[in-house]
Amino acid sequence: MISIWFFIGISLAFNGALILSAGIYQLVYPPANPGVVLFNLHAGVWWGATLLLVGLIYCFKFAPRRHS
């Protein structure tokens, strides 16, 4: 049986990858009007990277074959 932690890993990794990508895009092409406070911190980049990293760790640690 696939572990619930594997599903969580997929979710975090997928969301993290998307958020990181969007963050990097805005880092490279900064919008004229960011629309958010503290845009200069580029939260999308480091938060997306964190989620991606945690998600990949969960995916690897609880991968169906490895876990079973």
Partner 1 sequence: MTSQLATLVPTQLVHLSAVDIVIVVFYFVLVLSIGWYLKGRSNTGEDFFMAGREMTAWVAGLSFLSANLGALELMGWAGSAYQYGILATHWYWIGAIPAMLFLALVMMPFYYISKTHSVPGYLKLRFGEPSRALSAVSFAFMTVLMSGVNMFAMAKVMQIVLGWDINFSIWVSSLTVAIYVTLGGLRSAIFNEVLQFFLIWAGALLIPILGLYEAGGWTNLKARILLNLTEQHMANPGSYTHLWSTLGNFGDNPMGINWVGIVFGLGAIISMGYWTTDFLVVQRILAAKDIRSAEMAPIIGAGFKMFVPIIVILPGLIGLAVLPEKLVPESVAAVTGAHSYNDVLPLMLARYCGPGLLGLGVTALIAGFMSGMAGNVSAFTTVWTYDIYRPLFNSKASDHHYVNMGRWTTIIGVLISVGTAYLVMQFASIMDYVQALFSFFIAPLFGTVVLGMLWKRATSAGGFWGLLCGTITSIGMWTWVKLDPTALRYVALSPHAKGLAQDMFQALWSFIVCVIVTVTVSLATKPIPDGQLTGLVYGLTEIPSVGDVPLYQKPLFWAAVVTVVFFILNIIFW
Among 35, 40, 65, 68, binds partner 1 (CB under 8 A): 35
Query: Are 48 and 19 spatial neighbours (Cβ–Cβ below 8 Å)?
Result: yes
How many residues make contact with partner 1 (CB under 8 A)?
A: 29
Give percent helix, percent strand, percent coil of the chain, each to the nearest 5.
Answer: 75, 0, 25
Residue window 44-63: x/- pattern of binding to partner 1, with contact defined by CB under 8 A: x--xx--x------------
CA angle 36, 21, 6 (to 5 degrees): 110
List residues binding partner 1 (CB under 8 A). Answer: 1-2, 4, 7-8, 10-12, 14-15, 18-23, 26, 34-39, 41, 43-44, 47-48, 51
